[in-house]
Amino acid sequence: MSDKLTEIMAWKRREIAPLLRPVTEAELARLDASLPRPPSFAAGLRRSDGRLAVIAEIKRRSPSAGDIKAGASSLEQARRYQAAGADALSILTDEKYFGGTLDDLRGVTAHFRSNAPAIPCLRKDFMVHPIQVLQAREAGAGAILIIVRALTDEEIAVLATAATVAGLDALFEIHNEAEIERAARHGAKIIGVNNRDLAIFKTDLALSERLIPKFPPGVIAVSESGIATAADAARVRAAGAQAVLVGEALMRSADPSALVAELRSA
């Protein structure tokens, strides 16, 4: 694990420590049954026209880019993405490093429940415990993020099971061949290549080109980070990506609709 990711994960474990308690599968199943069904994240990435799906990210800042759009309204950004025809949203809920909160996720999903079309939302955070899965389901998410390199196999198994029982999809984020194998062992149905190396903050789309062809058959392949133009999208599409996750470029764009259309043109 990279030094920066180690730092972030250590902080996340400290941050959620006061919230920790046993979370049973029965509790998660009851929660799932009691709440409105969120739109399917996996289904949102399987476009019927075969074109590239776009996961639009709400991200105010990051450790690599610094401030991207400080003070941005998550709801206003979600409305812009909705108008742009984004297939899914990724909503950062980590405050210390990315400037997001669970209230961002709650507000956006509440808006979609009353303003069609509903868009599936990923809770983008550093997940380590089922209590965070419970929070995600309560907040209206349709999926959680599982960063393979940041977790033990036991932790991955617990999170993946919790997500399934709670009615959520899981995006397994990987960065090398060994992590593809680990994700596959845990039944990953959606795998994303993070093109940014958190050890040195270098972004290289060649990583998607190398790794996506090695994904197991039937997996939804996502390319994350470093995608800003149709040419970028075309590169990862040619490697087999079915979806791209785009944050910084869309947050900075004055016309997200045009950029989404440009990315899809790949």
Per the domain annotation, does 235 fall within a domain? Answer: yes
Q: What is the CA radius of gyration of the chain?
A: 17
Select which of 224, 248, 253, 262 is catalytic.
224
pLDDT of residue 200: 62
Residue 113 lies in a domain: yes
| Chain segment 57-100, per-residue pLDDT in tens | 999 998 888 988 888 999 999 999 999 999 999 999 999 999 99
Confidence at residue 1, expressed as pLDDT on a 0 to 100 scale: 59
Question: Residue 69: in which H helix or E strand, if any?
Answer: none
Active site residue 115: no
In sequence order, the 6+-apart residues with CB closer than 8 A to the CB of 8 are: 63, 94, 97, 126
Decide if 146 contacts 168 (C-beta within 8 A). Answer: no
- Look up the pTM and report it: 0.95
Known catalytic membership, residue 173: yes
Q: Mark whether 194 is an active-site residue.
A: yes
pLDDT in tens, 186-243: 999 999 999 987 666 678 999 999 999 999 999 999 999 999 999 999 999 999 999 9
| Residue 19 falls inside a structural domain | no
Q: Which of the following is catalytic: 12, 57, 208, 209?
A: 57
Residue 220 belongs to some domain of the structure: yes
Q: What is the CATH number of the domain that holds 124?
A: 3.20.20.70
Query: Is 203 part of any domain?
Result: yes
Is 25 one of the catalytic residues? no
In the annotation, is 69 catalytic? Answer: no
Point out the catalytic residue in the list 90, 208, 225, 253: 225
CA atoms of 23 and 33, how far apart (whole Å): 16
Which range of residues forms the domain containing residue 157? 3-14+38-264
The first and second tokens of residue 260, run together, are: 């989404």
Quote the number of domains for the chain.
Answer: 1
Tell me, what's the pLDDT at 223? Answer: 98
Query: What is the reported pLDDT for 95?
Result: 96
Question: Which of 12, 62, 90, 124 does the annotation list as catalytic?
Answer: 124
Residue 75, amino acid: L
| Residue in 62, 74, 90, 194 annotated catalytic | 194
**What does the pLDDT average to over 247-254?**
92
